[in-house]
Structure 1
Amino acid sequence: MRWWLKARRIAPVLAPGLVTIVLALGLFADTDASLVSWTVSNQTVPLLTFAPLILAATLALSLDSRLPEAELTSTRRLPSLDMLLIVSAVSATLAAAWFAHQVTHADSTLVVGRNALFLTGLMLVARGFVGRGGIVVATGWVLIVILVGRRTPTEYFPWAVTGLPISTSRATTAAIAAFVLGVLMTYLTARKLP
């Protein structure tokens, strides 16, 4: 177990990523930035839009930090340990988002939790097909939503899951589905990834 913790680089990679998310939730709960959009003008985007990518990126790096030869011959249930790692990291992010919402009452903090589910799931599904490039898919999704995801300056298209308000049930359903599919994909392909 100790070598698995070291191999996945939980202390030097994943833990600082989670701390960074907590700091972002505390510092940028009500901060918006003006960003370019191809579909509307005068677009502002919450800075917390990018916070879930921290989780997806650090989790991807942790999962990609492996000892392939040792893991292929291991008798331990490494895919189960990886599932535990994924669920624990996402649960910690959800708890931090909920706590930040209790303190700040900013809906953008809850959106971070939902988007952490969606983008982590998207990254995990993509890892099953493109390996280490999975994080590019999650990052690309966020950028596409920023560039072409808005119908008006205040309204997103229905497919733009990461931009929709927390009250949008279809976005929450999509986030949960993406996460479950991503975890399942990771479990099925855990020993096949490079």
Structure 2
Amino acid sequence: MKWWFKARKGHMFLPLALALFAAGLYAVQDTTVLLPSITGSPRVALSLFVPVPVLAFLMAMLESRLPAAETSGVRSMTRLDNALVTSVMAMAVLCSLVVAALQGAAAPTTGGRNVLFLTGLMLLGRAWAGQAAVMFPVGWLVTVVVIGFRGNVPRSWTVVALPADALFPAAASLAVFAIGLAAQIRSSRKTA
């Protein structure tokens, strides 16, 4: 398992990803920015974009492999990959809770929820688009900004733009993450 973790470059990417995530959440706090949109002029929380480095590093870890050797090997790398993804998400959620406690605000907890949702999207996309699926969550964020608001109120389908205390986005994030993990099983067995 030690060699697998080194092959995935987890020893380099994981600490860097989590440090960038926590620092980003801490730095943006409750900052909102006015972004151009088709359906209004929403004030979007800057924390919406903080999960992007975690997604990029996670995809880099998952794609730093030898597919043919892993497919023909005796041990299943799928379980290890899913354990890696789950542990990274658990640490990201923990980071968001720590930042929320340090700031005394609930807003940073949306970072943990959003990283789960966006990772699920990325893993779903990876099943058929491969490494290019790292852009799926970015595309989702751009779509949310461009058409995801009615005036200054986020639509319910956006998930990532909804308030921290809403139950629907938390449930949707967990569901999409679980479906993404299931799709990960299929994509990890591909050789090309």
TM-score normalised by structure 1 residue count: 0.93
Distance 1:44 1:18, change over 3 A: same
Contact 1:120 1:182 in 2 (8 A): yes
Higher mean displacement: 130-139 or 29-38:
29-38
1:166 alignment counterpart: 164
CA deviations 1:127-177 (Å, max 9, x no partner) are: 012111211111100110011100121x11111111111222211111010
**Corresponding letter in the other structure for 1:33:** V
Matched residue count: 192
The 1-side partners of 2:12 and 2:145 are apart by: 31
Paired residue secondary structure (1:108)? coil
- Matching of residue 19 in structure 1 with residue 31 in structure 2: no
4+ runs of 1 displaced by more than 6 Å? none
1:131 touches 1:193 (CA, 8 Å); kept in 2? no
The percentage of counterpart residues that share the same residue type is: 32
Mapped contact 2:68–2:191 kept (Cα < 8 A): no
Q: Is the 8 A contact 1:128 1:189 kept in 2?
A: yes
3-state SS of 1:192 partner: coil
- In 2, Cα distance between the equivalents of 1:56 and 1:29? 20
- For the 8 Å contact 1:128–1:193, the answer to whether it is kept is no
Mapped to 1, the partners of 2:106 and 2:128 lie a distance apart of: 34
Which structure 1 residue ranges, 5 or more long, are not aligned? none
What residue number does 1:81 align with?
80
State the partner residue of 1:92.
91
**Paired residue for 2:175?**
177
Measure, in 2, the Cα distance between the counterparts of 1:107 and 1:141. Answer: 23
Q: Aligned partners of 1:88 and 1:132: how far apart in 2?
A: 20
Q: Secondary structure at the match of 2:108?
A: helix
Q: Please name the residue that 2:185 is paired with.
A: 187
- In the alignment, the residues of structure 1 paired with residue 190 and residue 25 of structure 2 have an alpha-carbon distance, to the nearest angstrom, of 36
**TM-score normalized by structure 2?**
0.94
Instruction: Work out whether residues 37 and 146 of structure 1, in 8 Å CA contact, stay in contact via their aligned partners in 2.
Output: yes
Distance in 1 (alpha carbons) for counterparts of 2:55 and 2:167: 22
Q: Give the superposition deviation at 1:48.
A: 1.1
| 1:4 matched residue in structure 2 | 4
Shift of 1:193: 5.2
Instruction: Identify the residue that residue 58 of structure 1 maps to in structure 2.
Output: 57
1:4, 1:124 → 2: CA distance? 20
RMSD: 1.4
